[in-house]
Structure formats: C-alpha cells, structure tokens
Amino acid sequence: MIVPMCSLIDNLYTMRVLDREEFAKYEYRIRHTSLLVLDDLGGEDTDQKWVLAKVDSIITERYNEMLPTIITTNLTAEEMTGTYSGRVLDRMRNTAERLVFNTSSQRRNRWEE
C-alpha cells in the first residue's frame, strides 16, 4: 500500500469526523498491510500534535509487528530530529537502510516549456 503522508492524514481526519467505522477499517489497513510505503514524510501538517502522535503510533505498531515500511522524505536528518520523536527515529534507525539522493528535481517545469 502506497500512501502520501498528506493524504493519509487527510483521510484519517475526514473519516474520523464523518464515519467512525470507515476510519477504523482504514487505520487497521494502514497498520497491518504487508508492506506500507509512506511517501513524503514531513509533507503532513506536523504543527498539529495529533498528527505527530498518529505517525508515531503507526510506525511504532508496524515496528512492533515487524511489518516492513518504506519511508520517503525530503527532510534532512536534522529536520527529522527536530520534528519527530526520538522514539520513532530510533525505530527507523534500527530497522532501516538510509539512501540519500542529492540531485535536483527530475520533474520538468512545464510552465517554462
């Protein structure tokens, strides 16, 4: 399952307000899918405490259940440290292989064409 972080948080917030049953099903699927790709960690609104708590909870549960999670981000290690809890970062360091790509955007700017 591939989920952009901003969509994940938006879906959880909307479902929580509109349909508790759908919220529970969606969150269960996120937590228990055999492989989860969280795309663009840091793209969610990290100023909201419930968002950080939810990210922490999802990553922690997947870590405890030994379920693989791939995380993509544009954040540096320092930015991650300044945003996410040490507990979450420790879990990521313990189970992750870090790949760093230092290149410019590969997306073409269609406005300039």
Which CATH number fits the domain that encloses residue 20? 3.40.50.300
Q: How many domains does the chain have?
A: 1
Answer yes or no: is 110 within a domain.
Answer: no
Q: So what's the pLDDT on residue 111? A: 65
Answer yes or no: is 28 within a domain.
Answer: yes
State the DSSP string of 46-104: TTSHHHHHHHHHHHHHHHHTT--EEEEES--HHHHHHHS-HHHHHHHHHH---------
pLDDT surpasses 90 at 16: no
- The mean pLDDT of 101-109, rounded to a whole number, is 74
- The mean pLDDT of 66-92, rounded to a whole number, is 91
Q: So what's the pLDDT on residue 113? A: 57
- The mean pLDDT of 72-86, rounded to a whole number, is 90
The DSSP symbol for 40 reads E
Tell me the average pLDDT of the chain. 88
Looking only at the bridges linking them, the beta strands covering 2-4 and 69-73 are unpaired
- The pTM for the full model equals 0.82
Residue 17 is which amino acid? V
Answer yes or no: is 102 within a domain.
Answer: no
Considering the chain, what percentage of its residues have pLDDT values greater than 70?
A: 95
Q: So what's the pLDDT on residue 112? A: 63
Structural domain for 86, as ranges: 2-97
Residue 47's pLDDT band (cuts 50, 70, 90): confident
Answer yes or no: is 38 within a domain.
Answer: yes
CA–CA–CA angle 74, 84, 99 (5° rounding): 40
Rounded (10°) CA dihedral 12, 32, 54, 63: -160
The DSSP symbol for 9 reads H
Residue 37 is which amino acid? V
- The mean pLDDT of 4-24, rounded to a whole number, is 86
